[in-house]
Structure 1
């Protein structure tokens, strides 16, 4: 029995090690560059999320209401930037655009260290948010152009894992500044944030240089996409493919369809954007709900975020493999919406019991909510890629990213106007909203499959 147990433990250990290697040190050049850049950016973002509120209010002396208004304005800029970046990526190249966005975002974040006053705050916030959202659209376009089939969705899943772990690390690092709790500590933190974010451009620049080197060594007019049996474009071809066909080849490229003339895609983006409200429910609604409407200790706010981070890191790649086509992705989104509605009911019930019951219900709700996120992310990635016209991948991913930006901007207001303002009735309204979105995915799934090119 002992040798068998040891053998199983060894196999399990190797499997975990292989999974970590494939996530954080992939063999593929594009995947490796995106992973390294994402880790730098998300650690920086985790630090920034932890100290930004105190930086704005205590160090910069801006009242909370003005901070909220300024961030809303910045969110609106982010919506426009997402849309424009998608179309720009098809013209200047997704990789080039992503490099610029990462550099400008890092410099903008670092400038908070020396900024004061409302005007400077709003301008920097708009620049940082706009470049972050534009970079997201460029990143999606780069993934769409560099990978094919199931590997494209797995790549997004692995990046999602990196994002969650990076934000968790950044939040822990920022704890030092929170403990010191001084103006100097907060300003020093955002300076580090800016430097970390800017360093995310280094692996992307290396990838761009490799792309130029490949084009110089093999000056072909059209680079063929060599695909492995599992649907993955070969690593050595990625550098040349990352920004599409070589410019100046003299060969006319077919014009792709505009996403604004694709009603099926726009409908899908609308539905997935409404589902995306759950992120605001998690980051804004739950802290207010736990602190103001339940008897659970406020430490549960951090506990629930930690539970979500761990579950996403462990299971996102596995869940992503279940959405392999438009039809299966639509079913996955339907499941995610129904499960999310159940989570709303559990969150509401947490206000009706004592502290122990509230803690138990909140933990169960967090697990259910994480399952909804895992299914929802996998389904939305597959739909956003597989329903898009590959010839205008940047424009399509820009529209998809714009929908997400709108959801992020609207979520705090919607959640506070429902669950926080009206309690159990508000949670019920949110649950009904998610169930209606589920119906939309049921009705749309088969039709979208027929419209896919």
Structure 2
């Protein structure tokens, strides 16, 4: 029952965010009348603030109760999404996107803490993998609904899409409240205690570097296809489809065995190698004939999705295995901060350095991925998993109990 609720939460929330992702940019530029430069600066600033607050948000999940924190952030996201329809100036937009960025990053740590508490230890990674598959399916469905809004292309349609997202987020909130309550932790630890764990901090930095695969897929590859290759522009949708299908088919399988520090280390190393190989393939596409270019792009996309899945599994496994009692939220927040840094620096890195340098830029990116992957096991070898049970963890449900 709990696992089914977690899957529904992921599916419904991402159905809504898929709609919003499809229509929000066009709404604020074409209906609200904001400039592209203003939108870009506001999004970057809001993401930077949210990334800086990630650990503190995870700390609040520990202190207030992760389920209540999760529900509260969903309420904030729903209110901000609905408020977006009222935006007509830059000041209002900044307030809305700041609330959305904080809600998004805060939910990552709250969701991770909830799963840690309500799911049996030997099922946590498998559950996170299934949750991610549900998220991808939901986002794809939401993007399809958003496409209908874009086809209608009227202010009322855009507003309706955003309000529909807000409603779906409120439904998600109700589903979250069906989960068992996660006890708040009252032990007197500081809100930045995780920063004293040097191996974990180094790991989150390496994991964040690997996470630039996300803006690589969404920003860099489409731009590179347009300005650096002779491939038809429609191939972008094919590559995104390959990625979505790959996650659905492989996420659960490739996540197996990553629920220990050693397993997370292996996954991180393999992720770095695969992402480096994807970049190496992309580096050749600026100099090949169209048929070879398309083949290399598809190959790079297939290899990329393997690296993406293993990077996620490595982050989940290490952040759970290394979380001390009472600090699961903080560790989930630090993990979210590392990934958020990757999302933050990635677009600028690719647009200002990698794409202008072409082959050299892609090879430098390949070297970055490979280095981060190779260093991950070395860093995690110095980390020590906690020896005592975590107070967040709830007793197993009767049907989850194992014979002793």
Determine if the TM-score, normalized by the shorter chain, exceeds 0.5: yes
Alignment match, 1:218: none
Alignment match, 1:396: 331
Alignment match, 1:268: 203
Alignment match, 1:322: 257
Contact 1:339 1:369 in 2 (8 A): yes
CA distance in 1, matches of 2:363, 2:269: 18
Give how far 1:89 is off.
0.9
Give the match's secondary structure for 1:295.
coil
CA distance in 2, matches of 1:349, 1:150: 42
Deviations 1:85-122 (A, max 9, x none): 11001111000010010011011111112221111111
Alignment match, 1:36: 8
Q: 1:172 to 1:297 in 2, by over 3 A?
A: same
Give the match's secondary structure for 1:62.
coil
Deviations 1:33-84 (A, max 9, x none): 3222221211111111111221121111111111100100110122134222
Pairwise CA RMSD of aligned residues? 1.8
Give how far 1:170 is off.
0.6
Give the match's secondary structure for 1:206.
coil
Give how far 1:194 is off.
1.6
Moved more, 118-127 or 138-147: 138-147
CA distance in 2, matches of 1:254, 1:192: 42
CA distance in 2, matches of 1:340, 1:150: 28
CA distance in 2, matches of 1:81, 1:443: 28
Give how far 1:278 is off.
0.7
Deviations 1:192-240 (A, max 9, x none): 1221122210111233xxxxxxxxxxxxxxxxxxxxxxxxxxxxxxx2x
1:303 counterpart = 2:275: no
CA distance in 2, matches of 1:253, 1:181: 53
Q: Of 297, 304, 309, which residue of structure 2 is paired with 1:362?
A: 297
Alignment match, 1:336: 271
Contact 2:125 2:317 in 1 (8 A): yes
Moved more, 72-81 or 41-50: 72-81
Q: 1:323 to 1:206 in 2, by over 3 A?
A: closer
Q: How does 1:107-126 map to 2 (within 5 A)?
A: 107-126=79-98
Contact 2:272 2:374 in 1 (8 A): no
Contact 2:323 2:385 in 1 (8 A): no
Moved more, 255-264 or 343-352: 255-264
Alignment match, 1:435: 370
Q: Of 24, 45, 49, which residue of structure 1 is paired with 2:17?
A: 45
Alignment match, 1:195: 167
Give the match's secondary structure for 1:51.
helix
Moved more, 414-423 or 336-345: 414-423
Deviations 1:352-377 (A, max 9, x none): 12222211111111000011112111
CA distance in 2, matches of 1:343, 1:452: 36
1:373 counterpart = 2:308: yes
CA distance in 1, matches of 2:155, 2:228: 32
Deviations 1:387-428 (A, max 9, x none): 111321111111111111122111111121222221111111
Q: How does 1:35-434 map to 2 (within 5 A)?
A: 35-207=7-179, 239=180, 242-244=181-183, 258-434=193-369
Deviations 1:155-203 (A, max 9, x none): 1111110111111111111111111222222222112122112221011
CA distance in 2, matches of 1:370, 1:445: 23
Contact 2:108 2:332 in 1 (8 A): no
Contact 2:55 2:331 in 1 (8 A): no
Give how far 1:127 is off.
0.8
Give how far 1:452 is off.
4.9
**5+ unaligned residues in a row in structure 1: which ranges?**
1-26, 208-238
CA distance in 2, matches of 1:420, 1:437: 21
Q: 1:81 to 1:196 in 2, by over 3 A?
A: farther
Rg (Cα) greater in structure:
1
Alignment match, 1:214: none
Moved more, 297-306 or 33-42: 33-42
